[in-house]
Structure 1
């Protein structure tokens, strides 16, 4: 009994006897409203607890030796596919010239219709001379044969590549037996009014560099990057590098909850009436990771839902090259004077953005919120009920008095 008395003094929850309690209609209404409010707020707390948010973090990018994937889809309505060349160069000295692997060139009908002529990749030089004698060895017409061709130029493309390797202008292949056999000149002329769509994927070193789409076969000479522009400027059709960038991205797409807008260059359109015109885009690439709930850098891998990609910002510049050269009579143009075309220079940021999924509220926070909702609502309800009850008593006394 004594022990019970000592504990009784610590009771913070004093009780009232049943006979001292008064139940009223207003109190019942307040109770029902309070229960409804508590239910709504608790449901809100639960939904908030289940809500997933993305918290971005900025860290130093420590990755080394990775490749930078590039996805592109660009339309040139006034340049045929046979005149376009895609090249990549970077500060490490690596060059990829006339890229065709992973890239498709789709011929388009003349502007403004610009519908696909062919769904397959363009290949003007599909004649491998298989119908000729097996011992046939084509003449390279004074140029060294391409590497791996055993000193022979069996196709028009072999001769064209041989000329490009030593910086000779090729033209339409007049007098070249292989080109005449393949009707190279006739096929070129038949495509003059066409446009071209370049789409696909390429992989480059993750260092500062550029990729560009320019006319003519490309080659390097005296530490300069050169294009054979003979066919581009000699054409009766006034080709221009007006273009539409349907999409340009570096790596896979981020989830929609992270990516709130399109890539900066998606849907970009540029136009010019000059043949000798240069478009340049300067791109700052930032490595970006997306880590779903429960995935960390250590558990990241296949099947986890993690995404490794890149975001970018861009500034653009365009200029006419006509004043710096006699464009109508030029056969080649080197880097000093500028090359007509579309150039994308990319720089790699040393920082990395990590988008990490997390719950908006912890379980402890959820319990705290529920207790606060119940306690706060009942306290306010008790005050309201007390006020209504006291007010009713005073009104009743006034009527009785």
Structure 2
């Protein structure tokens, strides 16, 4: 009993005798109200505990020798697919002329409907109208490496590639046996009033560079990158580089859940439209690309991608007034088309998901809610009880 007596003296929670308790209707109301308040506050605290926030950290990007994936989807309503060429070049000296692998071209009618889709390949099939043993003439040029038979230009495209390697203009293929057999000239006339959508992805070195979409085959002439513009400029149908950038991104796309949670990760050129009636018009987009990673909390994975900012400029190559800034005069020269010049930032943004509150903090808040609510409720109930007693005494007098 002595030990139990000592423990009883340490009891901080002294008990009251049941007979000494008084229950009132006002106390019942305060109790119900207290339970509702505690329930609402606990739900709010639980939602706060489950909430995930994203913190951003800026570090030096130490990656070297990587390649970067570019996803694009661009519509040209006033120029046919046959006249469009996609080229990539960078400061390391890497040149990818007439990019074909991973790129699709979709022929569009005047209303924007798809006539035909063609996904370009590095090695196209042999034309059905030619015998497999056929060895075509290259008309003074050297057969390209893409030809299926060494030293031979078997297709119209082979002759075009051979002319481009020499830096010669090609035209509509008149007098070239392969092109006449394939009906290249007739195909150009048939597609003259069509539009084109180019989409797909390409890989580039992660260094300063540019990619552009311009008319005609590209080739190098006196260490200059030029395009054969004959079919683009001399056709009877008017062509221009009115375009809509449906989507343009660098690196893998973010999952749907991260897109909803990270609204700041937007591609600024998505759904961008530009209009012109000048066929000799040049659009320039200067992009600043920043490596970005997202560390997902719940799923435990990290996504490495890129985001970018953009500055755009446009000018007429005829040497006139700019459509956007009247009165500004531009010098002659250049290639009509759209050009994307990108620069790589030496910094990297790391976005990390964290919980705003720890589990121990959540439990502490729950205890504080329950204790604080009951304390305030007890004081309120005591005040109501004492007030009712005093009013009762006054009535008794």
Correspondence for 1:144: 142
Rounded to whole Å, the distance in 2 between the matches of 1:314 and 1:13 is 68
Please tell me whether the aligned partners of residues 102 and 120 of structure 2 are also in contact (alpha carbons under 8 angstroms): no
1:271 aligns with 2:275: yes
- The counterpart of 1:257, out of the listed 246, 257, 260, is 260
Rounded to whole Å, the distance in 1 between the matches of 2:116 and 2:127 is 24
1:321 aligns with 2:321: no
Please tell me whether the aligned partners of residues 129 and 155 of structure 1 are also in contact (alpha carbons under 8 angstroms): yes
Alpha carbons of 1:148 and 1:33: their partners in 2 closer, same or farther (altered >3 Å)? closer
Shift of 1:369: 0.7
Rounded to whole Å, the distance in 2 between the matches of 1:34 and 1:68 is 59
Shift of 1:7: 5.4
Alpha-carbon RMSD: 2.5
Rounded to whole Å, the distance in 1 between the matches of 2:209 and 2:82 is 25
Alpha carbons of 1:319 and 1:28: their partners in 2 closer, same or farther (altered >3 Å)? same
Rounded to whole Å, the distance in 2 between the matches of 1:366 and 1:251 is 38
Correspondence for 1:372: 368
Which digits, 9 at most, give the CA deviation of each residue in 1:188-244, with x for residues without a partner? 111111111101111111111111100010112332211111111111112100001
Rounded to whole Å, the distance in 1 between the matches of 2:165 and 2:297 is 53
SS in 1 for 2:34: helix
Q: Aligned pairs, how many?
A: 380
Shift of 1:133: 5.5
SS in 2 for 1:256: helix
SS in 2 for 1:56: strand
Q: Give the unaligned 5+ runs of structure 2.
A: 321-331
Alpha carbons of 1:395 and 1:272: their partners in 2 closer, same or farther (altered >3 Å)? same
Correspondence for 2:291: 287
SS in 2 for 1:119: strand
Please tell me whether the aligned partners of residues 137 and 152 of structure 2 are also in contact (alpha carbons under 8 angstroms): yes
Please tell me whether the aligned partners of residues 258 and 355 of structure 1 are also in contact (alpha carbons under 8 angstroms): no
Rounded to whole Å, the distance in 1 between the matches of 2:132 and 2:32 is 97
Rounded to whole Å, the distance in 1 between the matches of 2:106 and 2:268 is 24
Correspondence for 2:31: 31
Rounded to whole Å, the distance in 1 between the matches of 2:295 and 2:114 is 40
Please tell me whether the aligned partners of residues 241 and 341 of structure 1 are also in contact (alpha carbons under 8 angstroms): yes
1:106 aligns with 2:86: no
Rounded to whole Å, the distance in 1 between the matches of 2:351 and 2:127 is 55
TM-score if structure 2 supplies the norm length?
0.88
Please tell me whether the aligned partners of residues 101 and 120 of structure 2 are also in contact (alpha carbons under 8 angstroms): no
Shift of 1:161: 1.0
Please tell me whether the aligned partners of residues 164 and 219 of structure 1 are also in contact (alpha carbons under 8 angstroms): yes
Which digits, 9 at most, give the CA deviation of each residue in 1:25-72, with x for residues without a partner? 211221121122212222322232233333333322222222211111
Shift of 1:183: 1.5
Rounded to whole Å, the distance in 1 between the matches of 2:115 and 2:298 is 49
Moved more, 134-143 or 284-293: 134-143
SS in 2 for 1:57: strand
Which digits, 9 at most, give the CA deviation of each residue in 1:229-277, with x for residues without a partner? 1111111112100001111111233222333264211111000110111
Rounded to whole Å, the distance in 2 between the matches of 1:132 and 1:183 is 13
Please tell me whether the aligned partners of residues 102 and 119 of structure 2 are also in contact (alpha carbons under 8 angstroms): no
